[in-house]
Each structure stands twice: as structure tokens, then as C-alpha cells.
């Protein structure tokens, strides 16, 4: 991965990412983009919690969905749709999260992508919060 300044594709991806109104509502950032990998960070904000004080599962699902789509975009280009995702929730998240998606393989038409969501627990230790698997396909084929 290279920094945004070095990589025109990262800049284009950032423009697309930041032009998503829902991403603005969540307050997420695209922190990695390139060579089959994309990472989405979601800050700890009171508006993103469920009734027990943990990050809402829907926020974790958003991060996985978006990270998988952008990771697929690094190999398939920008005209893609996410066809489906599977999510396993391992632990509740009480702090900010980072969803890092990695392309496992691709054909001309689709990419299969895995995703790990990490957070920091009460002891300041990095923990795996959730995992995801998904596919994206090129539009119009």
C-alpha cells in the first residue's frame, strides 16, 4: 500500500468513499486502498451504539460491506456491485473499529474478499471483533 499522495487511484477511491452520504453520517474513513486491500475505520461515537453501550452490529456490517466493496474495486475497477456478504460477530466492540478487507481471488467478472474487524478492548489489547466474506461483481456483465 502506498500513501494517498503517491497514488492517484487512492485519491479517486477516497473521492467516491467520501461522496457517500451514509459514510458521512457514520463518520468513517478510508485508510487503506490498493493492491487488493482496503481498510475502513469507524470512530467511537455515541450515535453508533446499541442499547447496551456496544457498537451496533449494523455499524460493523456497514464497515465490512464498504471495506469489501473498495477492496474488490482495487482489482475490478469502479463499476462494481457487492453481491453478498457473510458476517460472523465474535465479540462486542466498545471502541473504534478498523475493517480491513483483502481480495482472496478474482475472475474477470467477480472478486471474493475476506474482511477482519479489529477493535481495542478494555485492557488496550487489539481484539478480533468480527469477520466477513463477500463477493463483488462487475456491473453489466
* Binding footprint of a second copy on the chain (CB under 8 A): 16-17, 19-26, 46-51, 56-59, 61-66, 69, 81-92, 104-105, 107, 110, 112, 114, 116, 127-128, 131-133, 135, 141
Residue 71 parent element (H or E)? helix 57-76
Q: How far is the CB of 99 from a second copy (least distance, A)?
A: 11
Q: Is 97 exposed, middle or buried (0-12, 13-18, 19+ CB in 10 A)?
A: buried
- Comparing CB distances to a second copy, the nearer of 37 and 85 is 85
Q: How far is the CB of 28 from a second copy (least distance, A)?
A: 9
List Cα–Cα distances, 131 to 6, 63, 100, 113, 117, in angstroms.
30, 11, 10, 11, 6
- Comparing CB distances to a second copy, the nearer of 8 and 21 is 21
- Comparing CB distances to a second copy, the nearer of 6 and 89 is 89
Question: Hey, CA dihedral for 63, 83, 10, 74, is it positive or negative?
Answer: positive
Amino acid at each position: 500500500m502506498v500513501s494517498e499522495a503517491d497514488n492517484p487511484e487512492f485519491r479517486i477511491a477516497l473521492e467516491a468513499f467520501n461522496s457517500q452520504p451514509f459514510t458521512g453520517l457514520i463518520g468513517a474513513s478510508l485508510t487503506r486502498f490498493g493492491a487488493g486491500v482496503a481498510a475502513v475505520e469507524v470512530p467511537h461515537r455515541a450515535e453508533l451504539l446499541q442499547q447496551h453501550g456496544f457498537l451496533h452490529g449494523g455499524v460493523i456490517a456497514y464497515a465490512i460491506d464498504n471495506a469489501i466493496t473498495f477492496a474488490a474495486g482495487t482489482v475490478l475497477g469502479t463499476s462494481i456491485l457487492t453481491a453478498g456478504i457473510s458476517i460472523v460477530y465474535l465479540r462486542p466492540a466498545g471502541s473504534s473499529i478498523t475493517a480491513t478487507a483483502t481480495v482472496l481471488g478474482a475472475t474477470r467478472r467477480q472478486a471474493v474478499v475476506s474482511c477482519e474487524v479489529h477493535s481495542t478492548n478494555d485492557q488496550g489489547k487489539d481484539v478480533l471483533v468480527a469477520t466477513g466474506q463477500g463477493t463483488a461483481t462487475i456491473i453489466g456483465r
